[in-house]
A and B are shown apart, each in its own frame.
Chain A
């Protein structure tokens, strides 16, 4: 694959790298700083760009393989960008006991994707999650820092419509 050398692409890569270096600078002083660094990058960029793993590795005196190993181990970290909105549907037992499987099916059908996939228009990524600690108000869905409880298939679909509208405006 040839590298895109257009001015825009070069600028974008520079900005990605700046975010990575910022995250390193902000956390490097901590003991065991790799996870805080990865969280910062994931939060600011929505993923951890593979081509900048080397920057992290060099800063922490680790091998690229070690950094890659940590990124691939944790569900929170991804190396490709996710959709604009990440919808996490809880699949754990308490939600199952309250009809969570119906919610899962409704959301999958609505978005037309399976778990860990992104819609074609790049709007939504659907993620499975194993417990949001909202088990006394099951079933649950999380979108960013917002958690929704007592979700039904109908209310889940409404929620997605609302998110679409919010995103479009």
Chain B
């Protein structure tokens, strides 16, 4: 058996040169097997090359094509660890070792498209178990796990499934929301590129649970590599009967299709997503009716995020109690946090709920990449609040964050150093909302445009006091008058920026608290 060398095929790894590194290694070494695995999620080390040794996999990174010659000459193929890029055993790198990976237990270990490797790592074990259970038993298992929607809304997944199970109708659908638009988030992409069968398995189990035989993955157009991976994985799963008619010889059939979005952030909102899947403008629907009862093409529909669905296999394989044994309070299980922005060590950190933001930023993230002090951290995507240092001891838990108006969202964490201008960030939040609003409701459609104008006046010191008051009032109107989270939450980053970083808006810190409240 030839020596295995791993070079990730993840699109982030490729964006920093992984393909060229793989080619450089292959060029001089014909007797080795290069495995294009998924990323391990340690992105500041990408391209990260791993060499299989008797002790385990040894990592080197970040490797550029010009490093390859010296690495080979140093003897990395014989397990030499003296090169300056040597990181030691992969599994011993603290960033990885200290994680609690359940959803992402397989990430980066093998070729993501190898069904054999997937099965060898407990893949399709959950599906096999689900096939022995009734729909109600499956739904109960999800309820017991405590899983809540990982897309951002944190609605209990089991309750959603129960509604669809109980809905009347011959045709039901499972829709996967893979429109991961939040800046600072990339976990869905890692899942789809790095472990696509987990998503396929999770959706199939959802189909068995609620009685749906058709699933759609609504994938954002910005993820071309994930698109290719999913299509290949679906094809291979159909060939091996993990998908298609009579899954694994059972009475359950399940077809899966990937549909591409078209660069619209609002289509990550579940009802806009359904409109888009139906071939219409991605305009938000009023609720009720709930999508669970009248969803895609008017039929009962489960709409779940990639991470929620990809967590289903581990819940079924290891049992709901095992999963619920992680976490705290009403936030059970683990959360894939995504460290982005100005941090030294960026990447995926899956941990039980309850870790502090400070630990994520400093222990895992290693502090700022620029070596300047960190100043503001946006948690939960472009609609999430900016947290000042005084709030970094907060435990990452849905209720803890909600207690002061913050959100965990999809788990994105974007850190800014002290060069950030928070008034500029607030302006961007409004600008983004204006760009991406679906236009259905006035507070969002018009409010965002006015928000940009008002912030421009504040920044240029035009009628400063009046415009500060106007901005606060506008935020309140958008928050309480918008149809969905787009307009309803755009004020979160704006208000938190004003409240905690008032000096950037030309307001004294003692006043900024009352202005923003």
Interface residues, chain A, with chain B CB atoms under 8 Å away: 31-36, 38-39, 60, 66, 69-70, 73-77, 91-98, 129-138, 140, 142, 145, 147-150
Shortest A40–chain B CB gap in Å is 10
Bound: A74/B277 CA distance, A? 13
CB of A133 within 8 A of CB of B262, answer no
Question: What is the chain B residue whose CB lies nearest that of A77?
Answer: B262
Bound: A93/B346 CA distance, A? 14
Contacts A133-B223, A137-B16, A138-B341 supplied; 6 other A-B pairs, CB < 8 Å: A32-B259, A39-B221, A95-B183, A133-B12, A133-B222, A148-B15
CB of B12 within 8 A of CB of A149, answer yes
List residues of B (175-211) whose CB comes within 8 Å of A's CBs: 180-186, 188-189
Query: Which of chain A's residues have a CB closer than 8 A to the CB of B223?
Result: 133
CB of A93 within 8 A of CB of B425, answer yes
CB of A136 within 8 A of CB of B43, answer yes
CB of A137 within 8 A of CB of B46, answer yes
Binary interface profile of B, 12-48, with partner A (CB < 8 Å = 1, else 0)? 1011100000000000000000000000000110100
Question: What is the chain B residue whose CB lies nearest that of A33?
Answer: B279
Query: Which of chain A's residues have a CB closer than 8 A to the CB of B264?
Result: 73-75
Shortest A28–chain B CB gap in Å is 11
Query: Which of chain A's residues have a CB closer than 8 A to the CB of B436?
Result: 130
CB of A135 within 8 A of CB of B186, answer yes
Of B11, B340, B417, B435, chain A has the most CB atoms within 10 Å of the CB of: B340
CB of A137 within 8 A of CB of B263, answer no
B378 touches A (CB below 8 Å): yes
- Report which of A98, A130, A136 forms a contact with B338, defined as CB distance below 8 A: A136
Binary interface profile of B, 253-273, with partner A (CB < 8 Å = 1, else 0)? 000000111111100000000
B225 touches A (CB below 8 Å): yes
- Report which of A36, A73, A96 forms a contact with B428, defined as CB distance below 8 A: A96
Question: What is the chain A residue whose CB lies nearest that of B222?
Answer: A132
CB of B297 within 8 A of CB of A31, answer yes
Question: What is the chain A residue whose CB lies nearest that of B15?
Answer: A149
Query: Which of chain A's residues have a CB closer than 8 A to the CB of B189?
Result: 133
Shortest B48–chain A CB gap in Å is 12
CB of A133 within 8 A of CB of B185, answer yes
CB of A35 within 8 A of CB of B340, answer no
Query: Which of chain A's residues have a CB closer than 8 A to the CB of B280?
Result: 34, 66, 70
Identify 21 residue pairs between A and B in the complex whose beta-carbon atoms are under 8 Å apart, listed by A's number.
Answer: A32-B278, A39-B260, A73-B283, A74-B263, A74-B264, A97-B341, A97-B342, A97-B414, A97-B417, A98-B369, A129-B222, A131-B184, A133-B180, A134-B186, A135-B341, A135-B414, A136-B186, A136-B339, A137-B16, A138-B341, A145-B224
CB of B186 within 8 A of CB of A70, answer no
Of B11, B264, B378, B416, chain A has the most CB atoms within 10 Å of the CB of: B11
User: How many B residues touch the partner, as a band?
Assistant: 35 or more
Interface residues, chain B, with chain A CB atoms under 8 Å away: 11-12, 14-16, 43-44, 46, 180-186, 188-189, 221-225, 259-265, 276-283, 297, 338-342, 346-348, 369, 378, 382, 412, 414-417, 420, 425, 428, 432, 435-436, 438
CB of A131 within 8 A of CB of B182, answer yes
CB of A97 within 8 A of CB of B279, answer no
Given A94-B414, A135-B338, A136-B186, verify A76-B11 contact (CB < 8 Å).
no
- Report which of B183, B225, B428 forms a contact with A131, defined as CB distance below 8 A: B183
Question: What is the chain B residue whose CB lies nearest that of A144?
Answer: B224
Shortest A55–chain B CB gap in Å is 16
CB of B260 within 8 A of CB of A94, answer no
CB of A130 within 8 A of CB of B181, answer yes
CB of A138 within 8 A of CB of B15, answer no
Given A76-B221, A136-B12, A136-B339, verify A131-B181 contact (CB < 8 Å).
yes
Shortest A54–chain B CB gap in Å is 17
CB of B279 within 8 A of CB of A70, answer yes
Shortest A82–chain B CB gap in Å is 13
- Report which of A66, A73, A136 forms a contact with B346, defined as CB distance below 8 A: A136
Question: What is the chain A residue whose CB lies nearest that of B369?
Answer: A98
The 8 lowest CB-CB distance pairs between A and B, nearest first, are A34-B279, A92-B183, A136-B43, A149-B15, A97-B341, A74-B262, A135-B340, A76-B262
Query: Which of chain A's residues have a CB closer than 8 A to the CB of B265?
Result: 130
Of B346, B348, B425, B436, chain A has the most CB atoms within 10 Å of the CB of: B346
Query: Which of chain A's residues have a CB closer than 8 A to the CB of B438?
Result: 73
Shortest A158–chain B CB gap in Å is 14
- Report which of B15, B282, B412, B416 forms a contact with A134, defined as CB distance below 8 A: B15
Shortest B490–chain A CB gap in Å is 13
Given A74-B264, A74-B282, A130-B181, verify A32-B297 contact (CB < 8 Å).
yes
Shortest A64–chain B CB gap in Å is 14
- Report which of A130, A145, A149, A150 forms a contact with B183, defined as CB distance below 8 A: A130
